[in-house]
Chain A
């Protein structure tokens, strides 16, 4: 079956939906493919807020926001991108409000704002109220609002279509080829559907499921990065993966930084606010990489609660009113998933795998680039967590991901609308689906193979233990060997479900393949980066090394199945790298 649209968007999270809106407004024939119903996308899980220097509560400027983003990202941020982010944050948040997003309000009826980690006044003087929020369900409101607008504009959706491959024209994407569409697996009946298109955007979200303890949805398996990577597009800055400090012990469900933004404490076994040892100025509101490391240090020093591997997040002193008004959802999580009462009990937390700073490299117009000189891949776009612009550098600040979705999702949509005008519909051979059909049939048909679960859990374990908050050469080598072994074993993966109708068994096996690709690039890039920067923290190289490593890594697939690494310079405009002290 062949469909045809001028533009295709893969993924219906915040980034994909906003792009779809722009295309609809421009009158472009566009469609959104998503393996979940759009409102199930993980953007809906974002809690705390979206930063924009509106200055509704106190003085604020986009330049301050830009600076915080760069410093937060440990100077690996491309500063032109950070400028775009901080400037356009303001208009996109206002536009969201116009679309109907129910922000909390200040007494004079404006959008309410709160503090968030790493966001400061006057270039680092102290915390500033910059995060616009709707209780602690900001992401939910963004996702719903954007979806509502898509309904309003009649955007075409292919719900529960799992994109399994990209179609190319004129060679692989890494060698100058053009992206000509996608192959999608219709989950309802197992049909492989070919969609031709002049422009394809990847907005497939992150890959936290690579780790054992994560705040990410089961569906976040790095599909976009892996699919592009398989066609020769590099994966950028993969070694930078953020661990959020406050996940529910064991299961990783996130307790938003909003809690600390509203004044929650982090306590060690003695009831001491241990952040004083690590970031005396910002305390609990230091950037995430620092807080995660601080918690890990405390635990290693035996100051975890009862010597165990967690510390406390304490909201008791905030009072019931504030808790109910500003943090209703996360306190609900604590009640449901820990059986504790946050009014009266401190909450056991530990760092949880949260956010991929790296991903598909793009330029400021959300066009995918394929090398160190930023050569554009025709017809391919990316935005959201799956992309790397890079506005987050080595560590993302809280709330900046939602801003990233809005700003670069919008830019992607606008750019696609411009680009599709000038080009013709690509030619697509009738048999493009054959290789992928063969791959899927092989998995389905294999009788005596290895269960995908074993592979996935072993991957999650090794990544958590050896490529987590702290890393070193020994652990990373262990991880590399393990991932290589798992990739071998994956060639023999099999599933129980041999049917065609709603075969989630098969698709999950496919997703394990994406995770193995992304893990492979992460480990390779991490081994090669012999410094500590942002979320990448090497115990054997504890210092930042601007001389050798103020560069973005680009991982491409080598002919032998390994990873080739290249580096590209960081764009620096206004702010020269300085030591990062809070």
Chain B
């Protein structure tokens, strides 16, 4: 079948403004949007620029706005999008470098800001630190994050206030706050109790819809909020 692929393009060396370019691509229903982008790049116009690497939804390179929602281009099939017209644009709310490539530096800075690494106290044991399967399960969901930024850039709170630390960073803080081996929860809760921390979440759930790893992000955020409340209680 033929798909009309509309891509919001912008080349800082040539364009004043982003503009939409339309391509007609031959596709089959099991193709993914990434395949279509590749077809355009390899058969029609090599200047079309986007990031991609693993091509199966585990590296987080190719999150973009597809038919009005953030998704991974390599994880969404043509038949799932229904219809013969597909629109593609860069992730909302981050500076566009070129075509579908956005500047991720601010996003990663937020990730780093929540101290996303294990900080145990006490002596290092000879063998592994023991952890029950039940304790392990408490943060299982948030270990799945691939830092694709689909969530943070789908959040109206983030669009409104780019200082908002954003769902991805909170997810990664959650992963350590609820890890029984970690002893620095206090420090992270302090950071997230900031004005631009968890309180900016208005339970919009765009993040959850966008997350390609199906992480229950809002639940994680609210668990952190609750931990902050309990810490003060």
Contact segment of A73-81, A103-111, A521-529, A564-572:
A103-111
Tell yes or no: B17 within 8 A of A by CB.
Answer: no
CA of A131 to CA of B90 in the docked complex: distance in angstroms? 40
Tell yes or no: B52 within 8 A of A by CB.
Answer: yes
Tell yes or no: A372 within 8 A of B by CB.
Answer: no
When C-beta atoms are compared, the residue in chain A nearest to B139 turns out to be A102
CA of A108 to CA of B124 in the docked complex: distance in angstroms? 19
| Neighbour of B47 across the interface among A39, A217, A499, CB < 8 A | A499
CA of A217 to CA of B111 in the docked complex: distance in angstroms? 24
A4 to chain B, nearest CB (A): 23
Q: What are the interface flags for B131-158 relative to A under an 8 Å C-beta threshold, 1 for contact and 0 otherwise?
A: 1110010011001111100000000000
- Chain B residues with Cβ below 8 Å from A144 are 143, 145
Tell yes or no: A230 within 8 A of B by CB.
Answer: no
- Chain A residues with Cβ below 8 Å from B42 are 451, 453
Contact segment of B112-120, B193-201, B202-210, B222-230:
B112-120
- Chain B residues with Cβ below 8 Å from A497 are 46-47, 49
Contact segment of B1-9, B18-26, B97-105:
B97-105
Which residue among B11, B47, B112 has the maximum number of chain A CB atoms within 10 Å of its CB? Answer: B47
- Chain B residues with Cβ below 8 Å from A100 are 117-118, 176, 179, 181-182
User: Given the known A-B contacts A40-B60, A40-B61, A333-B56, are A501 and B132 also in contact in the complex, defined by CB atoms under 8 Å?
Assistant: no
Is A218 a contact of B181 with CB atoms below 8 Å?
A: no
Tell yes or no: B108 within 8 A of A by CB.
Answer: yes
CA of A502 to CA of B49 in the docked complex: distance in angstroms? 7
Q: What are the interface flags for A179-196 relative to B under an 8 Å C-beta threshold, 1 for contact and 0 otherwise?
A: 000000000100000000
Is A500 a contact of B13 with CB atoms below 8 Å?
A: yes
Is B52 a contact of A140 with CB atoms below 8 Å?
A: no
Tell yes or no: A496 within 8 A of B by CB.
Answer: yes
User: Given the known A-B contacts A105-B131, A218-B52, A501-B98, are A336 and B57 also in contact in the complex, defined by CB atoms under 8 Å?
Assistant: yes
A98 to chain B, nearest CB (A): 6
User: Given the known A-B contacts A100-B181, A140-B146, are A44 and B47 also in contact in the complex, defined by CB atoms under 8 Å?
Assistant: no
B178 to chain A, nearest CB (A): 11
A500 to chain B, nearest CB (A): 7
Q: Which of B169-184 contact A (CB under 8 A)?
A: 176, 179, 181-182
User: Given the known A-B contacts A45-B54, A496-B45, A500-B13, are A105 and B146 also in contact in the complex, defined by CB atoms under 8 Å?
Assistant: no
CA of A36 to CA of B148 in the docked complex: distance in angstroms? 13
Which residue among A110, A137, A217, A329 has the maximum number of chain B CB atoms within 10 Å of its CB? Answer: A217
- Chain B residues with Cβ below 8 Å from A253 are 55-56
- Chain B residues with Cβ below 8 Å from A499 are 11, 13-14, 47
User: Given the known A-B contacts A336-B57, A502-B101, are A102 and B143 also in contact in the complex, defined by CB atoms under 8 Å?
Assistant: yes
A331 to chain B, nearest CB (A): 13
- Chain B residues with Cβ below 8 Å from A140 are 58, 144, 146
B7 to chain A, nearest CB (A): 14
B49 to chain A, nearest CB (A): 5
Which residue among B57, B101, B104, B128 has the maximum number of chain A CB atoms within 10 Å of its CB? Answer: B128
Using a Cβ–Cβ cut-off of 8 Å, how many residues does chain B contribute to the interface with A? Answer: 62
User: Given the known A-B contacts A134-B143, A453-B42, are A151 and B54 also in contact in the complex, defined by CB atoms under 8 Å?
Assistant: no
When C-beta atoms are compared, the residue in chain A nearest to B72 turns out to be A336
User: Given the known A-B contacts A44-B146, A499-B13, are A97 and B56 also in contact in the complex, defined by CB atoms under 8 Å?
Assistant: no
Tell yes or no: A37 within 8 A of B by CB.
Answer: yes
- Chain A residues with Cβ below 8 Å from B124 are 98
- Chain B residues with Cβ below 8 Å from A451 are 42, 46
When C-beta atoms are compared, the residue in chain B nearest to A496 turns out to be B46
Q: Which of A481-525 contact B (CB under 8 A)?
A: 495-497, 499-505
Is B46 a contact of A104 with CB atoms below 8 Å?
A: no
User: Given the known A-B contacts A151-B116, A505-B46, are A102 and B136 also in contact in the complex, defined by CB atoms under 8 Å?
Assistant: yes
B189 to chain A, nearest CB (A): 18
Q: Which of B60-108 contact A (CB under 8 A)?
A: 60-61, 75, 77, 97-99, 101, 104, 108
Q: What are the interface flags for B31-64 relative to A under an 8 Å C-beta threshold, 1 for contact and 0 otherwise?
A: 0100000000111011101111111111111000
- Chain B residues with Cβ below 8 Å from A425 are none
Is B130 a contact of A108 with CB atoms below 8 Å?
A: yes
Is A337 a contact of B49 with CB atoms below 8 Å?
A: no
Q: Which of A93-125 contact B (CB under 8 A)?
A: 94, 97-100, 102-105, 107-111
CA of A329 to CA of B181 in the docked complex: distance in angstroms? 25
B206 to chain A, nearest CB (A): 21
CA of A139 to CA of B140 in the docked complex: distance in angstroms? 15
CA of A149 to CA of B98 in the docked complex: distance in angstroms? 31
- Chain A residues with Cβ below 8 Å from B232 are none
When C-beta atoms are compared, the residue in chain A nearest to B182 turns out to be A100
Is A148 a contact of B117 with CB atoms below 8 Å?
A: yes
User: Given the known A-B contacts A134-B143, A151-B112, are A45 and B58 also in contact in the complex, defined by CB atoms under 8 Å?
Assistant: yes
CA of A138 to CA of B129 in the docked complex: distance in angstroms? 18
Is A501 a contact of B11 with CB atoms below 8 Å?
A: yes
Is A502 a contact of B127 with CB atoms below 8 Å?
A: no
Is A105 a contact of B53 with CB atoms below 8 Å?
A: no
Is B54 a contact of A44 with CB atoms below 8 Å?
A: yes
B35 to chain A, nearest CB (A): 9
Which residue among B57, B77, B118 has the maximum number of chain A CB atoms within 10 Å of its CB? Answer: B118
- Chain B residues with Cβ below 8 Å from A337 are 30, 32, 56
Is B47 a contact of A102 with CB atoms below 8 Å?
A: no
- Chain B residues with Cβ below 8 Å from A503 are 49
CA of A495 to CA of B116 in the docked complex: distance in angstroms? 41
Tell yes or no: A386 within 8 A of B by CB.
Answer: no
CA of A149 to CA of B116 in the docked complex: distance in angstroms? 9
User: Given the known A-B contacts A110-B130, A134-B143, are A217 and B55 also in contact in the complex, defined by CB atoms under 8 Å?
Assistant: yes
Provide 24 A-B residue pairs closer than 8 Å at the C-beta atoms, listed in order of the A residue.
A36-B53, A44-B54, A44-B58, A45-B56, A100-B118, A100-B182, A102-B143, A104-B136, A105-B136, A110-B127, A137-B58, A140-B58, A144-B145, A217-B53, A217-B55, A253-B55, A329-B58, A336-B57, A451-B42, A451-B46, A501-B12, A502-B49, A502-B99, A505-B47
Given A45-B54, A100-B117, A219-B53, 14 extra CB contacts under 8 A: A40-B53, A40-B59, A45-B58, A97-B128, A100-B176, A105-B132, A105-B133, A140-B144, A149-B117, A218-B54, A337-B32, A501-B11, A501-B12, A503-B49
